[in-house]
Chains A and B, each alone.
Chain A
Amino acid sequence: MLSAMPRRYELLPVVLAVVALGGCERRQLCNAPDCGTLVDAAIGEPGTLLPASTEEITARDVEEQLFLKLADVGMSMNTIGDEDFQPLLAQKWEWDGPLTLVFHIDPRARWHDGQPVTAVDVAFTYDAYSDSTVASPYRAQLKRLASVTARDSLTAVFRFRERYPEMFYDAVYHMRVLPAHLLRSVPREQWKTAAFGRQPVGDGPYRFVSWQAGQAIELRSDTTFFLGRPGIRRLIWRFTPDLGVAVTQLVADQVDVREQLVTPTMIDRVRTAPQVKLYPFAGNTYTCLAFNLRANGDTSKANPIFGDRELRRALTMAVDRASLVKSTLGDIGKVPPGPMSSLLWIWDPEIRQLPYDTAQAARILNARGWRDHDGDGVRDRDGQPLAFRILVPSTSVLRRQYAQLLQEQYRVIGVHVEIDALDPGALQQRISSGRFDSAILSRSNDPSPSSGITQTWTRGGIGGSNYTRYSSPEFDRLVDRAIAAASRDQARQLWRAAMETINADAPAIFLYSLDNVAGIHRRVADVQIRPDSWAALLRTWRIPPDQQIDRDRVER
């Protein structure tokens, strides 16, 4: 009786395979030139797919396929003027005087429910993005716009408050046009929880198909898309809990794309997979240890530790940023010379930064009265130990690792650090309400320094994403002048001066800027990655018919 068992087991896979193949054969296999399925290993699941409300990376990548901008930056990433911009929803545009920009919407554009896209949608979109009730993270970037109105059904008029080089960029880059007829009835205070966000209707190259909670989001190409049929038919974002699992799935050929491999270890693992090709591209994020300059939980008072500029400088000088980058990132990371990623044209290693100098750091601490009076290894002053907490998102392997490395570097100079790994949502609540000492934050840049840096480090960003509440009139003035500067060379000088000001004030320690490496299945052709948003040109990617594999041919 026992001997019969293994035999039956041997047959089981065969039986399953036959039945499975039979199942396939009964169906129509895909033969069209645009056959193909691209599966992305996404880390974490978005909360909503409503563009105005989201900042999460996965949501942004999916929205990139669903909702169009009026126009977008080109591969040159030039954000000044309008020559290098590619038309999308807007067929053409013209200037009507120095402060008025007129867009003509492509008459072929349709929402996926069949309704035409109109200038009313554009006006509605601006209204939503700039509404304080919606509290869109992009609101601050729109502050130089005075109004957006619909002249007729296909003509939208943008009016600006002032004239500056990146007017066009601000008009088109931050907003994705939303369907007014579907969203007008949603009360603005319930915007984030609107049902639309889990079942979006867009106008982009891909239509929304399904969202299986905890598992995947699926999109399907819109074959009638007015700018041309997308190259790949199905796009799937598959949710994974962390980078390790995502990379394993890529190596095991269960997914096609992992757009950021982050660490050298992960890249080495992907190198072992023959079916995956690596695509390096400029990184658009930088990560910093941000200090809360106001008291933890009370923004009206200065922070007893980080309120002191000298102390912040000492804490910065105590960190060996170069070694930390080398230990965790090897060659694919760099120490940024300020709050910027290597994507930005203002990157310049010559920008003056605080040196790594533990002796100087110790001298400053001693001079400020922070000495180890009680001999417990931790410096103290008036009975208060020099101690603080670092918040890190529990989902980020790299930042959790950095927290422990920093903890040790601070221990050596007598500063006690505790680490709290929090769920990203909880972390966001804590930092935006000012209830934190310090946090390791990653910021991704737009192609232009003007928006991100203004948003995160100037006085105007307080209450928005300037979580450190750093406020320096000198820095703000330099940034404003840099944005308004007529020539790039002039702007470069001003940006440099601004960066040196913020580096000297040390509201944060700028830890690393990551060079990205994407791992993408070899069979995918025409891969184009625009560094500020890897998925922006996904519709041009394709899978040649002779390269297609099983998952490309299945038909719904």
Chain B
Amino acid sequence: MTFGSWLALVVAIVLSAEVVRWLRHRALRHERWRRFFRHPTAAWGCGILTFLIIVAIAAPLVAPLDPIVQPDPVRLKNHAPSLTFLMGTDVFSRDVWSRFAYGARVSLGIGALGALIAVSLGSCVGAVAGYYRRWVDAILMRGVDIGLALPRIFIVLMAVALWDRLSFAWLTLVIGLTSWFATSRLVRAEVLALRERDFVVAARALGVPSSRVIFGHVLPNAAAPIIVSAALSVGNVLLLEASLSFLGIGVAPPRPSWGNMIADGAVTIYTAPWTTLFAGLAISLVVMSLNAVADGLRDALDPRQDPA
């Protein structure tokens, strides 16, 4: 660790603490957002996520070394964590902390992008099915049934194995395209209820085009469950990417992702457990934070809890 990277790390920690404090301060003004922070876990979740996002964005600053360079595979491999190597070195003598920071980019990136694809697609399909009902609904939902009937990891494994190694973009796309089924069901249920509400009926009666009704009136009112499911999706996509990388068919080496850090470290887990340990902890913390935030959002966005 160089002085600069220590400094950047401290700044990242302070910054994320400040962000949480600022959020909490703002939240005091709104009943809904006060509910979000009712559980301390939500605040912690926000803090951890903010910290890791800062680390991901500022990876070149917080990481002292290039994550793929192998400085000296003979003498520097499998070093235990120390002040020089914050999280130790791996079997290739690469700095685990640097890989961790750059891995955050890849893992969080796939998580966010994959979830974005999944949630947008799921929302659109769900809204269309719920809004048009009848045969459109029937066809789309049977499709969703089929998608749900085949375990996701299975489809992705097949896609990856059949077309050899997928590039980063394709991997994200395949994960996103196979993760939207549950969201679409959820949104459909919401839309089915919403389309009978007065403002939707009124808009339709006024002859507003269907697409405007769906995207202008229906979906914004179904935002709450969509946001919650988006938060959960990020975690799920992250876990899926990690599983694939662990099986050796996710993100291609030498580019670090938390999943392939676990896979690289699994070989030396008995002699140098730190590689596996920190990457695994990071995934758990992110998923946990996302779950906590989703819990908070659910409370905050629950209309039943709004004061009458």
Chain A contacts to B: CB under 8 angstroms: 244, 248, 265, 268-269, 323-324, 326-328, 394, 397, 400-401, 404-405, 407-408, 411, 418-421
Give the number of residues in B that approach A within 8 Å (Cβ atoms).
22
Which of B70, B77, B164 has the most A CB atoms < 10 Å from its CB? B70
Closest residue on chain B to residue A420 by CB atoms: B165
Contact partners of A248 in chain B: CB under 8 A: 270
Write the nearest CB–CB distance from B303 to chain A, whole angstroms.
Answer: 43
Contact partners of B252 in chain A: CB under 8 A: 418-419
Cα A269 to Cα B74 in complex, Å, equals 19
B271 at the interface (CB under 8 A from A): yes
Contact partners of B266 in chain A: CB under 8 A: 244
Closest residue on chain B to residue A326 by CB atoms: B74
B143 at the interface (CB under 8 A from A): no
Contact mask B38-76 → A, CB, 8 Å, 1/0?
A: 000000000000000000000000000000111001100
Closest residue on chain B to residue A412 by CB atoms: B69
Cα A405 to Cα B254 in complex, Å, equals 10
Contact partners of A394 in chain B: CB under 8 A: 248
Contact mask B230-271 → A, CB, 8 Å, 1/0?
A: 000000000000000000110011100000000000111111
Contact A269 to B73, CB < 8 A, known contacts A404-B253, A408-B254: no
B91 at the interface (CB under 8 A from A): yes
Query: What are 27 A-B pairs with beta-carbon distances under 8 A?
Result: A244-B266, A265-B268, A265-B271, A268-B271, A323-B73, A323-B74, A324-B73, A326-B74, A327-B73, A327-B74, A327-B93, A397-B267, A400-B267, A401-B91, A401-B92, A404-B92, A404-B253, A404-B254, A407-B254, A408-B69, A408-B92, A418-B165, A419-B252, A419-B253, A420-B164, A420-B165, A421-B249
Which 6 pairs from chain A and chain B are nearest by CB?
A: A327-B73, A327-B74, A408-B70, A421-B248, A326-B74, A397-B267
Closest residue on chain A to residue B76 by CB atoms: A327
Contact partners of A420 in chain B: CB under 8 A: 164-165
Of the candidates B92, B164, B270, the one whose C-beta lies within 8 Å of that of A244 is: B270
The B interface, classified by DSSP as helix, strand, loop or mixed, is loop
Which of A268, A404, A407, A421 has the most B CB atoms < 10 Å from its CB? A404
Contact partners of A418 in chain B: CB under 8 A: 165, 252
Cα A236 to Cα B29 in complex, Å, equals 72
Pair B165/A411 contact, Cβ less than 8 Å: no
Write the nearest CB–CB distance from A387 to chain B, whole angstroms.
Answer: 13
Contact partners of A405 in chain B: CB under 8 A: 70, 73, 92
Cα A97 to Cα B68 in complex, Å, equals 65
Cα A404 to Cα B255 in complex, Å, equals 11
Closest residue on chain B to residue A327 by CB atoms: B73
Of the candidates B248, B254, B271, the one whose C-beta lies within 8 Å of that of A269 is: B271
Contact partners of B69 in chain A: CB under 8 A: 408
Pair B270/A407 contact, Cβ less than 8 Å: no
Closest residue on chain A to residue B77 by CB atoms: A327
Closest residue on chain B to residue A394 by CB atoms: B248
Closest residue on chain B to residue A426 by CB atoms: B161
Contact partners of A244 in chain B: CB under 8 A: 266-267, 269-270
Cα A411 to Cα B92 in complex, Å, equals 14
Closest residue on chain A to residue B164 by CB atoms: A420
Closest residue on chain A to residue B267 by CB atoms: A397
Contact partners of B93 in chain A: CB under 8 A: 327
Contact partners of B253 in chain A: CB under 8 A: 404, 407, 419
Contact partners of A328 in chain B: CB under 8 A: 73
Closest residue on chain B to residue A243 by CB atoms: B267
Cα A301 to Cα B249 in complex, Å, equals 30
Cα A244 to Cα B265 in complex, Å, equals 12
Write the nearest CB–CB distance from B10 to chain A, whole angstroms.
Answer: 31
Contact partners of A397 in chain B: CB under 8 A: 267
Closest residue on chain A to residue B91 by CB atoms: A401
Pair B68/A411 contact, Cβ less than 8 Å: yes
Cα A419 to Cα B269 in complex, Å, equals 22
Contact A408 to B68, CB < 8 A, known contacts A418-B165, A420-B164, A421-B248: yes
Other A-B pairs, 11, CB within 8 Å; known A244-B267, A408-B69: A244-B266, A244-B270, A248-B270, A268-B271, A324-B73, A327-B73, A328-B73, A404-B92, A407-B254, A408-B254, A419-B253
Contact partners of B268 in chain A: CB under 8 A: 265
Cα A484 to Cα B73 in complex, Å, equals 44
Write the nearest CB–CB distance from A241 to chain B, whole angstroms.
Answer: 11
Cα A468 to Cα B4 in complex, Å, equals 49
Write the nearest CB–CB distance from B74 to chain A, whole angstroms.
Answer: 5
Contact partners of A268 in chain B: CB under 8 A: 271
Contact partners of A404 in chain B: CB under 8 A: 92, 253-254
Of the candidates A269, A400, A408, A421, the one whose C-beta lies within 8 Å of that of B270 is: A269
Contact partners of A265 in chain B: CB under 8 A: 268, 271
Contact partners of A408 in chain B: CB under 8 A: 68-70, 92, 254
Contact partners of B68 in chain A: CB under 8 A: 408, 411
Write the nearest CB–CB distance from A343 to chain B, whole angstroms.
Answer: 26
